[in-house]
Amino acid sequence: MTGTLLNVATVLLGTSLGAAFGNRLPERWRQTVLDGLGLSTLGYAILSLVDAMSNQANVPVKFIVVLLSMLFGGIVGEALDLDGALNRAGAWLEARFARSSSAEQTARFVRGFVAASIVFCVGPMTILGSIRDGLTGDYSLLAIKSVLDGFASLAFAASLGIGVGFSVLTILVLQGGLSLLAGVLQNAFTSPMLAVLSATGAVLILGIGFSLLELKRVRVANFLPALILAPLAAAVLSSAGVSGF
């Protein structure tokens, strides 16, 4: 849990600085910061996707696993309305702690909470770093992620406000939960399973980049079940003796 607690601290620090000084920036500057963050998010997602599939055998079939996991995961997420639940959680937090005076400010708070929660929690560094931290106590990967998330939260908060800071609740639950469960996952995850899991996470981050750039409103949270379906599918293919799994 050391890496997760460090991550929480950097996100809170970045959010505090971004919220404190963001309002002093002209609107066009804040929009430029948000656009820069959106472009950087797309770049990070592409690099993560390439990295996840590097040195892997039978990449085309692995990508088909990612594709089908996204499709069926999206159906499950829509049925459960995960995106709506996450947005309602953000709205409840805003009403409980921020009490904005306008619908626009409420939407801004919720957008910051949802976007930051997903960006900080579905990436391959989150998954691999949490597992490594839980298994061996080595939180070096999460330490690197914490620094990156600190700067990202500063940029997010400068444009989207303090809702970004409440993403630490999501970090504690998801990232901390993964670390605590790492002992159980130790013998369960193979390299191909981690590869398709990381690649699926990278595709979800692409959706966040599109949303930040206002190119397309993607209900990314509804695709979260894909993070479960992808490694399960890889395990099934491994049992079936498919090459590369």
Q: If pLDDT is split at 50, 70 and 90, which confidence band does 116 have?
A: confident
What pLDDT digit, counting tens, does each position of 195-222 carry?
A: 898 888 888 888 878 887 888 888 888 8
Asked if pLDDT for residue 178 goes beyond 60, the answer is yes
Q: Are 170 and 121 in contact (CB under 8 A)?
A: yes
Phi/psi of residue 137, each to 5°? 80, 5
Q: If pLDDT is split at 50, 70 and 90, which confidence band does 37 have?
A: confident
Asked if pLDDT for residue 75 goes beyond 90, the answer is yes
Measured distance CA(128)–CA(122) in Å, rounded: 11
Percent of the chain with pLDDT over 90: 15
What pLDDT digit, counting tens, does each position of 126-156 carry?
A: 766 787 687 667 787 788 788 878 888 887 8
What pLDDT digit, counting tens, does each position of 154-171 carry?
A: 878 887 788 888 888 888
- Give the model's pLDDT for residue 216: 83
Measured distance CA(54)–CA(22) in Å, rounded: 39
Q: What is the mean pLDDT of the chain?
A: 82
**What average pLDDT does range 43-50 have in this prediction?**
85
Tokens standing for residue 42: 């797309």
- Give the model's pLDDT for residue 130: 80
Asked if pLDDT for residue 93 goes beyond 80, the answer is no
Percent of the chain with pLDDT over 70: 87
Using CB atoms within 10 A of its CB, is residue 145 exposed (0-12), middle (13-18) or buried (19+)?
Answer: buried
Of 23 and 179, the one with more pLDDT: 179
| DSSP state letters, 21-48 | HHTTS-HHHHHHHHHHHHHHHHHHHHHH
